[in-house]
Amino acid sequence: MEDVKQYMKKVGQQARAASRLMAQASTNAKNHALENIATAIQLGSARLIAENAKDVAAAKANGLDAASVDRLTLTEKTIKGMVEGLQQIAQLADPIGEIDGMHYRPSGIQVGKMRVPLGVIGIIYESRPNVTADAAGLCLKSGNAAILRGGSEAIHSNQAIAACVHQGLREAGLPETAVQVVNTTDRAAVGELITMKDYVDVIVPRGGKELIERVSSEARIPVIKHLHGVCHVYIDDEADLHKAIRIADNAKTHRYGVCNAMETLLVNANVAAKVLPELCRIYLDKGVELRGDEASRKLVPQMKVATEEDWHTEYLAAILSIRVVADLDEALAHIATYGSQHTDSIVTENYSKAMRFLREVDSSSVMVNASTRFADGFEYGLGAEIGISTDKIHARGPVGLEGLTSQKYIVLGSGQIRI
């Protein structure tokens, strides 16, 4: 325990020192490092797969569930994904040093803002080893130092990827300590990481609800976090029903296990009889379990009864809850009560109702006539994302490079003093 404390302190101090160098690193050096890391991973893929096999074997021996083993396993395809991800990050514009809004004030000074790194970013994740490359790349490009703490079941894979990252940094003349992968599986390391105020500026937990809740409640450092995604689509009575059916189908069935999938469908009572039978036919054909309120079940008898708990639930599965509402106000009230402030969409052709929905729904993404599945850093054009934030402070919604930066004020004078 004392050893872990000492070890993490050293990691923290090294990260802080590296962060100062990374903040000054040229765009060129950072891009070279990213490309070098990509190459090292590509050339080292056989070794990565061999190291990964150790983790996979141990995981199976320890009885880890199949889904976790699947997330843990590196294949030629996931390795290609890592390589391409790093190359894409290299191609993104460098946010650091960007100057905005310089304007003269009556005093004669010129004031604006310069974008700067946050400093040291601690990332805590679970079994997926590709997060190691991905998170390292985003932190590096945004001029930060990173401390990565992956799942203990992926320790060999993560250390092998870390070796590629270090090689890439070294070849670009950047400090290897800019990206450190915690090399102990002791859980106390997480406790240290999330409380080392002097060495870590922000924590990004990536993983399931339990991990995020533990990290948020114990951290003494700001956390960029993503909690639940209880997303809604509201089909208004002035919706184009063709669009409505396509969007409601896509929002639920494009992928089930993702945070931006719809979990509850709200349908205006005036169009429920026109929409629900056709739409539910599609869901049932795709094997989606439907749970409805009384009004929906009258229209589609195959539905189960939705309970109060259903409205709160992020299924992350082929299950959908459905409710018929009287009007936009009832839809807004439902979303305010049961939503998770993640992503909600209205389908309507009515301008005033679209504007009200945009303004009044307090979620990180609010949409009109589009599938909730678009709430994503790549779809929004951020180029990459470190996660989706459901917080309001600092970063909200998909978090790309910019979310890993801050802005300082800069003042250009010519000798001004305050009078």
Least distance between a copy of itself and beta carbon 329 (Å): 12
CA dist., res. 273 & res. 311, Å (int): 21
Q: Of the two residues 62 and 337, which places its CB atom closer to a copy of itself in the complex?
A: 337
- Find the length of the chain: 419
Name which of 206 and 252 has its Cβ closer to a copy of itself. 252
Size of the site for a copy of itself (CB under 8 A): 66
Q: Judged by CB under 8 A, which of 132, 151, 250, 325 binds a copy of itself?
A: 250
Query: In the complex, what is the shortest distance from the CB of residue 273 to a copy of itself, in angstroms, rounded to a whole number?
Result: 22
Report which of 331, 311, 303 is spatially closest to residue 237, judged by C-alpha positions: 331
Could you say whether residue 12 binds a copy of itself (CB under 8 A)?
Answer: no
* Window contacting a copy of itself (CB under 8 A); options: 68-76, 99-107, 176-184, 230-238: 99-107
Least distance in angstroms from the C-beta of 158 to a copy of itself: 27
Of residues 12, 190, 179, the one with CA closest to residue 86: 179
The sign of the CA dihedral 368, 373, 377, 378 is: negative
CB of 351 to a copy of itself, least distance (A): 11
The number of CA neighbours under 13 Å toward the Cβ of 397 is: 20
CB of 38 to a copy of itself, least distance (A): 24
Asked if 184 and 7 count as a contact pair (C-beta separation under 8 A), the reply is yes
Instruction: State the greatest distance between any 2 C-alpha atoms of the chain, in Å, as a whole number.
Output: 78
What letter would DSSP give residue 147?
A: E
139 touching a copy of itself, by CB under 8 A = no
**Amino acid code (one letter) for 338:** Y
Cα gap 35→170, rounded to integer Å: 12
User: Nearest Cα to 193, choosing from 202, 393, 177?
Assistant: 202
What are the structure tokens assigned to 368, written together?
């009109």
Q: Which two tokens stand for residue 178?
A: 């800019």
- Counting contacts by CB under 8 A, is residue 214 touching a copy of itself? no
CB of 58 to a copy of itself, least distance (A): 37
Residue numbers 350-409 binding a copy of itself by CB under 8 A: 358-360, 362-371, 373-375, 379-381, 391-394, 396-398, 406-409
Residue ranges that bind a copy of itself, judged by CB under 8 A: 20, 23-24, 97, 103, 105, 107, 109, 111, 114, 116, 118-119, 201-202, 222, 240, 242-243, 246-247, 249-251, 254, 336, 345, 358-360, 362-371, 373-375, 379-381, 391-394, 396-398, 406-418
